[in-house]
Structure 1
Amino acid sequence: MRGSPSGALVSLRSLGSGMTPALRKIAEYVQQDPQKLLYQTVVEVAEASGASEASVIRFCRDLGFSGFQDFKLALASDLAASPVGLSPQDDPHTPEEALEYVTHHARQALEDTRRLLDLKAVAQAVEFFLTARRIDLYGVGASGVTAQDFAYKFLRLGYAVQSYADPHLAAMSAATLDREGLAIAITRSGTTIDTVKALEVARRAGAKTLALTQRLKSPIARVAEVTLVTSVTESPLTGGSVSAKMGQLLVLDLLYTLVALRRKEAQEFISRTAAAVADRNY
């Protein structure tokens, strides 16, 4: 294979002149601003370069990589200036500078998410919760942790809710949902295959489908009936950052608050769940 974990740019420069017009468009687009590609999906690269998604994937494979994500990871390694993906001028050198950096980006993620949220979509999502008798949550990696947070919060409101990080369990559970079920997929990129597949199964089963993602133009948004967008800029090397979590958790708390205010049994269930664990503290 020509591609290597740290040879995306070298492999790109080694391409000959015998490329098809479509692949040449992609090559020119990547070379023009490789840093920008780190924060894009395959759909966005295809649209920006004037090629098809299949051509983008073929381009990556022609370079010797297994696919688009593999190419992005290698490209990120080539371009990274620090372990957290910062350029040298942004690198914090003291605890004070690091605190200021992470606080700034967490605050920015919250503000950007607030601006991006479609409140009509939020209202529709709340209606999904109010009519649901069972809730499935799908997410892997860092998004799986957010899914667990969702499950914990809505369990306290009396819902039959479960989060699934295992793709097989997610798919099997999704297949048993019905019209009174709600399936929620959490994926920052919107391209996590296992999460997309689970939501597809849930939708075919008749469940209502909701996605929480950073990308409106993504495979998960095509499947979900309602998509809520969070905002944070991450490369393949900086996934799972606090700022990424902040946007997701803002949406979680917003949905929880709105549902709690409208669900008749909410206060009773909150009191009962609190009493159930009251003796677990000294």
Structure 2
Amino acid sequence: MNNENIIDIIYGNLGSMTATDQKVAHAVLTAPKDAVNYTISELAKVAQVSEASISRFCKNLDLTGFHQLKIQLAKVADDESSYYDEINIDDVQQALTNIKNNKVAEISNTLASFTTPTLKKIMALINHARILQIAAEGNTYPVVADAIYRFNQIGILAIGAESWSTSIGQTLNLITDDVLMIISNSGESKALLKQIDVAHKQGMQVIAITNRKDSPIALKADQHLRTSVRQYVLNSDYYFSRVAAITAIETLFLLLIAENRKRLSAIQNHENIISTDKI
């Protein structure tokens, strides 16, 4: 598991957990400091599951057991930026503060997971790509649209399509000199996995941005950036926040500009051209 933040790992796996594992996850995420001091029977009681379910939960997170879960929690228990702040509409100002804290946590923990070697490899792939294709499904596509706009602004030809049928058609017309970037919350989309297979058959390199480093998409990709989320709706439903994915895109965008300041003139040129459409 290396030195990954266990809170990030649990959040990243929430969407694909069984109902029982979600009960354990919610018990841990609600009070990480308390969970450090729980016995396995105490955590089972709080989560309203069996002790065997606690052991399975740990195994499903690739932990050796409950003791390792406690060790990993102890490493981050005092870091409140790792936590999720509940949003209660009865106190709007407090809700706004909690939303801010959650979004700051998403950005901070996303950036903390990026390593220099991986970022440099991804930047090199983008820099040398003839065409950068960016793909996603469903409510993640607005992140793709933003990425396409940004990369084209700095002179990197980026394409994409909201329709997966059109997107896969684009991939079939790409070549070895092109790069595919996949953005996926769960990293488990069958359509996007198929698209990676097509890209690899075309000889393309694949970059993935997902919430889990062990997701099928992350494992199939040539390079991977892991994002972190801190978001619930209602009391228990998992919800994908676009903030973390947009943070990953904006980070690459800003690093590419810092690497080559001439790209600022490309942005200015673009802005000058489109400014004629403004009042």
Give me the TM-score of the superposition, normalised by structure 2.
0.67
Alignment correspondent of 2:4? none
Residues 117-158 of structure 1: per-residue CA shift (max 9 Å, x gap): 122111110001110110111011221111111101001012
Residue 276 of structure 2 is aligned with which of 248, 265, 279? 279
Return the letter of the residue paired with 1:133: R
Q: Report the AA paired with residue 190 of structure 2.
A: I
In structure 2, how many angstroms separate the alpha carbons of the residues matched to 1:45 and 1:174?
Answer: 38
SS state at 1:151 partner: helix
- Contact 1:182/1:210 (8 A) holds in 2: yes
Structure 1 residue 281: Cα displacement: 1.3
1:1-282 alignment to 2 at 5 Å? 31=20, 34-36=23-25, 48=60, 91-234=88-231, 237-240=237-240, 244-263=241-260, 266-282=263-279
In structure 2, what is the Cα distance between the partners aligned to 1:142 and 1:90?
22
Q: Secondary structure at the match of 2:133?
A: strand
Residue identity (%): 16
- Equivalence for 1:40: none
Aligned equivalents of 1:45, 1:163: Cα separation in 2: 38
In structure 1, runs of 5+ residues without a counterpart are: 1-28, 38-43, 51-85
Corresponding residue SS for 2:250? helix
Deviation at 1:233, TM superposition (A): 4.0
State how far apart, in whole Å, the 1-side matches of 2:98 and 2:222 are.
36
Deviation at 1:106, TM superposition (A): 0.2
1:182-227 Cα distance to aligned partner (Å, 9 max, x none): 1000001111222222222112211111000100011101221000
Give per-residue Cα distances to partners, 1:223-261, cap 9 Å, x unaligned.
Answer: 210000110145694423xxx322222211111112123
CA distance in 2, matches of 1:130, 1:239: 33
Structure 1 Cα separation of the partners of residues 58 and 173 of structure 2: 36
| Aligned-partner Cα distance in 2 for 1:135–1:170 | 12
Deviations along 1:91-135, one digit per CA (max 9) or x if unpaired, are 341221221121110011111112211221111100011101101
> C-alpha separation between the residues in 2 aligned to 1:127 and 1:150?
17
Measured after TM superposition, the shift of residue 265 of structure 1 is 5.2
**Residue type at the aligned position of 2:112:** R
| Distance change (3 Å), C-alpha of 1:146 and 1:109 | same
Give the 3 Å change call, closer, same or farther, for CA 256–33 of structure 1 in structure 2.
closer
Instruction: Read off the aligned partner of 2:250 and give its amino acid letter.
Output: D
Asked if the contact 2:105/2:230 (under 8 Å) is kept, the reply is no
Q: Residue type of the partner of 1:115?
A: A
Structure 1 pair 32–177 and aligned structure 2 pair: CA distance change class (3 A): closer
Q: Which residue of 2 aligns with 1:26?
A: none
CA deviations over 1:35-67 (Å, ceiling 9, x no partner): 539xxxxxx9795299xxxxxxxxxxxxxxxxx
Q: Is the 8 A contact 1:92 1:101 kept in 2?
A: no
